[in-house]
Amino acid sequence: MTSKSVAAVILAAGGSQRMGQPKQLLPFRKQTLLRRAVETALASICRPILVVIGAHAELMSLELRSLPVLIAYNPEWESGIGSSLRVAIQTLSVIEAVEGVVITLSDQPLVTAAAVNTIVDAAYRTGKDIVASEYADTHGVPLFIGKRFFEEISVLAGTEGAKRVIDRHLEAMITVPLVEAAFDIDTPHDYERLTSSHPSEVEIGRNASGAAFDVE
């Protein structure tokens, strides 16, 4: 496996029901959360970069129009994260050079390109086909999955996330500490904490549920 063969997937198809507006387009440091996630991926060693959109697709497409990324539309986005993962894997499976993917979310603004690279590096060093981020007594995304498991992910049901596959193959998984991944934006309160605090002051350990395997 080479660095060029690891793709990055940004899941951005959700409807943001708890936020009450498209959280992907909320501003943070003069960027939307979606653009920040994409530019983080672009700054990493991953290629290609694929963004899965669904709800508010036209607005998301406009935000992505100047960025060198692939875009996949999930028409079944309302059925859950499994449908977005399925679209991502089906899209990337036809690219022969892609031997693994790093799955990320559009609402983890504290995750850096260095963190993504750390996950890829752990896959290189250990040869493991699953590398999960570890934080706040759980593990989740950003998450590396090797091509070995693409077929299983491609048949996930709408409400099933990567956890269903991972639970069947725990022997293939390692975790890496990534405390900044614990903070994700799901509610207006989350966003207020993000914008009113310096990142180092955000209580990231108290908001891990949104970044777990089955949540988009």
- Which pLDDT tens digit goes with each residue over 114-149? 999 999 999 999 999 999 999 988 888 999 999 999
State whether CATH 3.40.30.10 applies to domain 3-19+33-211: no
What are the sequence ranges of the domains in the chain? Answer: 3-19+33-211
What type of residue is 27?
Answer: P
pLDDT at residue 212, rounded to an integer? 52
pLDDT band at 215 (very low <50, low <70, confident <90, very high): very low
Distances (CA, A) of 204 to 28, 47, 136, 157, 201: 16, 28, 8, 30, 8
Looking at the predicted structure, is the pLDDT value of residue 208 above 50? no
Looking at the predicted structure, is the pLDDT value of residue 26 above 90? yes
- Quote the percentage of the chain above a pLDDT of 70: 87
In this prediction the pTM is 0.89
pLDDT at residue 159, rounded to an integer? 66
Distances (CA, A) of 128 to 39, 91, 125, 144, 173: 26, 23, 8, 9, 6
In angstroms, the CA 130 to CA 172 distance is 6
The pairing of beta strand 138-146 with beta strand 100-105: antiparallel
